[in-house]
Amino acid sequence: MNPFLDTLLDTPLDDTYRGVPPGEPAVALRAVASRGWQPRTGNMALPVLTMDEAAFDHNVERIFGYARSHGAALAPHAKTPMSPQIVQRLLDAGAWGATVANLQQAAVLLRAGVRRLMLGNEIGGAASGARLGKLLAAYPDARMLMFADSAATVSALAAAAAQAGRAVEVLVEIGGGRAGARDDTAVAAILDAVAAHGDKLALAGVATYEGAVATSDPAATAQNIAALMQRAARAFGQVRALAPQAPLVFTAGGSAFFDHVVQAATPLLAQDGNAQLVLRSGAIFFHDHGAYERALKAMDARAGFQVDGQARQAAADFRPALRLWGEVLSRPEPGLAICGFGMRDVSYDQDLPVPLAAYRDGAPLAGWDPAGRVTRLNDQHAFLAVAPDSALAPGDVIEFGISHPCTCLDRWRVFFGLDADGRVQSAYRTFFG
């Protein structure tokens, strides 16, 4: 095991971390299962964020099976959990590498032993290039592929290469709605800039992100992604002309529209014969009860999730793995329950959390109103609308599903893995900075 990861597992968890009961003696990450914690019983400090270990493993198996059936590789976006432990599990499952959003995330994963990374974002200017150069110099055995969508970005990457003392690999980013070259003229300017810097830079392929051109209209989204992929294909041809023998990367793919990417890129790369399609999906491993649940239902509507030539039901194949556990604090009105969590604990940018089950003394609560819903959040309070005669009372524990894993996990320094009996079997440190 990498020394950083080994040391990480010795991190003492004490009651400065959410979830750890106040006054509980510290326990090492690696020994957390010995405490027998079970959030539904109330023997953890609430709120607490947990991951269903079996659901996570199931999702890993499903998306890796999908990728293998299409000849694609996976470089999961580490920004979703920013947990070296999770990234290592995905590498052990066969990931090509990992994707990061910035240099801080890259530094964390390099220290954790990851040696193939993509930075799925622009590097910035000269100062950022200097920081990249120092990082690459510190890890001479690491391979990091960098996005570029302008000659200015290329110059920053060349400065990084000069400081690192080795070439930087460049992915020409094609985009719409966010970063990325917008037309063939912009692509030509990037390629000219790369050529002008000689052996400091090496063309590694093409990158894009289809989610940036999505809209609320499925037909318009499909058209936008198809147009984006056509531009990316043209750019790939331009890169190939300048690097005729190099093994290239074509990378795209979030967790909502990766089927569009595979459909468009597979014929192109099969014809090329010396390129790898790398999907950067990250949230898919955690799934959810909101944004990605809807995204996979939409994928099923277009029969997009095909494995070994057979259409499968993605919405049924993937399982939401994350849960937020909160305690009822107050029943101030007949139709209202106040729960002890809020915006500092759970994502709310796309949907509010969804109540799934209620427990009293660790047992399912009889007479609980399953139609209850969260109507709003304060910093530390959730407003749960319930039937006036709901059996909920202060002290009851409610299990919630979440929407958008990326903006939920980043609120937690530690989240906990649960076994099939709902007991804590593992703890995962996050490094969001």
Asked if 48 and 62 sit in the same domain, the reply is: no
**Last residue of a domain, which of 296, 316, 336?**
316
28 lies in which domain range?
Answer: 3-52+320-429
Long-range CB pairs of 369-376, under 8 A, 24+ apart, other chains included: 372/337, 374/400, 376/352
Asked if 332 and 290 sit in the same domain, the reply is: no
Contact between residue 346 and residue 402 where contact means Cβ atoms under 8 Å apart: yes
**Last residue of a domain, which of 316, 346, 364?**
316
Closest CA to 259 of 293, 218, 299, 227: 299
CA atoms within 13 A on the CB side of 368: 22
Structure tokens at 84: 């070296």
Q: In order along the chain (433 residues), what is the average pLDDT of each group of 10 residues? A: 94 97 96 98 97 98 98 98 98 98 98 98 95 98 98 97 97 97 97 96 98 96 97 98 97 96 96 98 98 97 95 96 98 96 97 96 86 94 95 96 98 98 98 94
Which residues are CB-contacts of 198 (< 8 A; sequence separation ≥ 6)?
none
pLDDT value at residue 368: 78
Asked if 116 and 215 sit in the same domain, the reply is: yes
Task: For the chain, give the longest Cα–Cα distance.
Answer: 74
Domain count of the fold of the chain: 2
pTM above threshold 0.85: yes
Asked if 46 and 69 sit in the same domain, the reply is: no
Residue-wise pLDDT for 316-345, tens only, equals: 999 999 999 999 999 999 999 999 999 999
Asked if 48 and 66 sit in the same domain, the reply is: no
Asked if 91 and 138 sit in the same domain, the reply is: yes
Asked if 347 and 308 sit in the same domain, the reply is: no
Asked if 257 and 401 sit in the same domain, the reply is: no
pLDDT value at residue 313: 96
Give the count of beta carbons closer than 10 Å to the beta carbon of residue 405: 26
Give the count of beta carbons closer than 10 Å to the beta carbon of residue 220: 12
**Last residue of a domain, which of 285, 316, 347?**
316
Asked if 276 and 384 sit in the same domain, the reply is: no
Structure tokens at 159: 């400065």
CATH number of the domain where residue 298 is located: 3.20.20.10
pLDDT value at residue 9: 97
CATH number of the domain where residue 386 is located: 2.40.37.20
Closest CA to 176 of 144, 200, 146, 210: 210
Residue type, 147: F
Asked if 23 and 65 sit in the same domain, the reply is: no
How far apart, in whole angstroms, are the C-alpha atoms of residue 20 and residue 53?
A: 19
Asked if 301 and 373 sit in the same domain, the reply is: no
pLDDT value at residue 1: 82
3-state class (DSSP) for residue 333: strand
Structure tokens at 28: 């090492």
Closest CA to 356 of 395, 324, 315, 399: 399
Asked if 281 and 171 sit in the same domain, the reply is: yes
